């Protein structure tokens, strides 16, 4: 399953440069650039197997924390393929700093500028004007996530869990961890 | 647009770091909805409106939305050190956890209980994100645009994204741009 590869310094530099570039293109999140990552890591350089690529994304989704951590797992696996845990840690550092530095720098400067000019009519219009679309996008994301693995009526237990969790969170102040725990238990015993 | 009055706010850089660590650890399949619940409803650092406004900025900039959001909020309270503390809190412990998970992956991936538990937690997260949208929808009543118009735009966006698989970018740019122009004229 693991590929054996050799990475020189120019390869690490190329990986870093590529992730810096992807960072600037990642409007809507790093996940929107996965197709390009696949082309670069799997098809062009063969630094990752297709299986490792998919596992990196799935594992990061399953773990707590921002989804962008799938990038760290890709770096980790590239390093492991290159032969050592030291290389794996280097891989995590290279991909994570690459994907984070440009976008965070840009966002920091933009937020600073917007805050200083927060009384400008255009700035207020931009920040408030996005609200209806933000609401629509969030509800859409919920629906899409709830129906990815449960497209048909026979999956009703799974999406009723989503529905019940949604209503409880909407209407009560119950702590999220209780609901996540309940979901985990139901899943463990194959109820959903 | 967080006013400098005596509202609740993070007490220190450490408070910021650990608050964001705690948020990140609750976020299975995404952290955004947890941020709204913890920072707006529990800690009350932000109002619903401020949350939407800051998120609009985080959303249109490149980079992961929640990472951008933590950066923007951290910077607002403590400048560059605050941005670093919030960002570090959001990423450090979850990064170590996900690497540990990768090491364990080969041992447990085949266990049906583990796969089922992940499936159950993902279903709860989906409900959480939808509920966050519904709650933020209530704040459209206080929006410069008429509430009915805002709700119609939100509904249309849902139909386009869910029903017709329209690319998110076009929906965001098209409807977002339109609403920004209309809001500008009413301010």
Find the CB nearest B41 among A23, A173, A188: A173
Let me know the angle formed at the C-alpha of B3 by A119 and B76, rounded to the nearest 5 degrees. 85
- Decide if pLDDT at A1 tops 50: no
pLDDT over 90, % of chain B: 41
pLDDT over 70, % of chain A: 95
pTM for the predicted model, two decimal places: 0.79
Cα–chain-centroid distance for residue A19?
Answer: 14
* Burial state string for A4-42 with b = 16 or more CB within 10 A and e = fewer than 16: ebebeeebbeebbebbbbbbeebbbbbbbbbeebbebbb
Q: HEC string of B112-159?
A: HHHHHHHHHHHHHHHHHHHHHHHHHHHHHHHCCCCHHHHHHHHHHHHH
Instruction: Tell if the CB–CB gap between A158 and B123 is shorter than 8 Å.
Output: yes
Mutate to test the interface with A, among B63, B93, B125, B184 (most CBs of A within 10 A): B63
Q: What is the mean pLDDT of chain B?
A: 87
Phi, psi of B62 (to 5 degrees): -65, 155
Residue A47: the pLDDT is 95
Instruction: Tell if the CB–CB gap between A176 and B127 is shorter than 8 Å.
Output: no
Question: What ipTM was estimated for this complex?
Answer: 0.79
Q: What is the pLDDT along chain B (187 residues), one digit of tens a residue?
A: 455 567 899 999 999 999 999 999 988 766 888 888 899 988 999 998 889 888 888 888 888 888 999 999 999 899 999 999 999 999 999 999 999 988 887 677 678 887 788 788 878 888 888 888 888 888 888 888 998 999 999 999 999 988 888 877 788 889 989 999 999 998 8
Q: How far is A143 from chain B (nearest CA, A)?
A: 7
- Decide if pLDDT at A78 tops 90: yes
Which is more confident, B170 or A106? A106
Find the CB nearest B124 among A55, A69, A165: A165
Give the pLDDT confidence of A118-158 residue by residue, as tens digits. Answer: 889 988 898 888 889 888 888 888 888 788 766 677 788 88
Q: How far is B45 from chain A (nearest CA, A)?
A: 17
- Decide if pLDDT at A159 tops 80: yes
Q: Are B147 and B141 in contact (CB under 8 A)?
A: yes
Q: Are B128 and A176 in contact (CB under 8 A)?
A: yes
Q: What is the mean pLDDT of chain A?
A: 87
Instruction: Tell if the CB–CB gap between B136 and A135 is shorter than 8 Å.
Output: yes
CB atoms within 10 A of CB A141: 22
Instruction: Tell if the CB–CB gap between A183 and B121 is shorter than 8 Å.
Output: yes
Find the CB nearest A139 among B61, B158, B181: B158
Residues within 8 A of B (CB atoms), A 96-155 only: 96, 99-100, 102-104, 106-108, 110-112, 114-115, 118, 121-122, 124-146, 149-150
Q: What are the residue boundaries of the structural domains of chain B, listed by start?
A: 1-105, 137-187
């Amino acid at each position: 399953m693991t590929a054996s590869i050799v990475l020189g310094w120019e390869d690490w530099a190329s990986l870093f440069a590529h992730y810096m570039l992807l960072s600037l293109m990642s409007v809507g999140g790093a996940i929107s650039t996965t197709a390009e990552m696949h082309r670069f890591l799997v098809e062009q350089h063969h630094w990752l197997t297709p299986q490792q690529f998919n596992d990196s994304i799935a594992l990061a989704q399953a773990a707590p924390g921002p989804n962008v951590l799938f990038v760290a797992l890709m770096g980790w696996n590239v390093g492991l393929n290159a032969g050592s845990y030291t290389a794996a840690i280097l891989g995590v550092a290279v991909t994570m700093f690459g994907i984070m530095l440009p976008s965070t720098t840009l966002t920091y400067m933009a937020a600073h500028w917007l805050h200083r000019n927060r009384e400008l009519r255009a700035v207020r219009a931009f920040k408030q004007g996005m609200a209806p679309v933000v609401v629509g996008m969030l509800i859409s994301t919920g629906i899409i996530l709830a129906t990815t693995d449960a497209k048909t009526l026979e999956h009703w237990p799974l999406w009723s869990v989503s529905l019940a969790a949604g209503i409880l969170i909407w209407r009560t102040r119950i702590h999220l961890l209780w609901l996540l725990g309940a979901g985990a238990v139901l899943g463990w015993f194959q109820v959903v | 647009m967080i006013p400098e009055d005596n509202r609740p706010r993070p007490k220190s850089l450490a408070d910021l770091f650990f608050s964001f660590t705690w948020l990140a650890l609750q976020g299975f399949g995404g952290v955004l909805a947890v941020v709204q619940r913890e920072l707006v409803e529990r800690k009350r650092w932000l109002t619903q409106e401020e949350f939407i406004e800051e998120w609009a900025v985080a959303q249109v900039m490149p980079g992961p939305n929640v990472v951008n959001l933590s950066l923007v909020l951290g910077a607002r309270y403590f400048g560059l050190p605050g941005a670093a503390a919030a960002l570090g809190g959001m990423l450090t412990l979850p990064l170590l956890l996900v690497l540990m998970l990768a090491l364990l992956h080969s041992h447990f991936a085949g266990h049906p209980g583990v796969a089922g538990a992940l499936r159950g937690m993902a279903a709860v997260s989906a409900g959480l994100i939808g509920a966050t949208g519904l709650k933020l929808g209530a704040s459209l009543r206080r929006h410069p645009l008429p509430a009915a118009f805002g709700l119609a735009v939100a509904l249309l966006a849902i139909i386009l994204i869910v029903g017709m698989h329209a690319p998110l970018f076009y929906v965001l740019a098209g409807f977002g741009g339109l609403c920004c122009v209309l809001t500008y004229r009413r301010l």
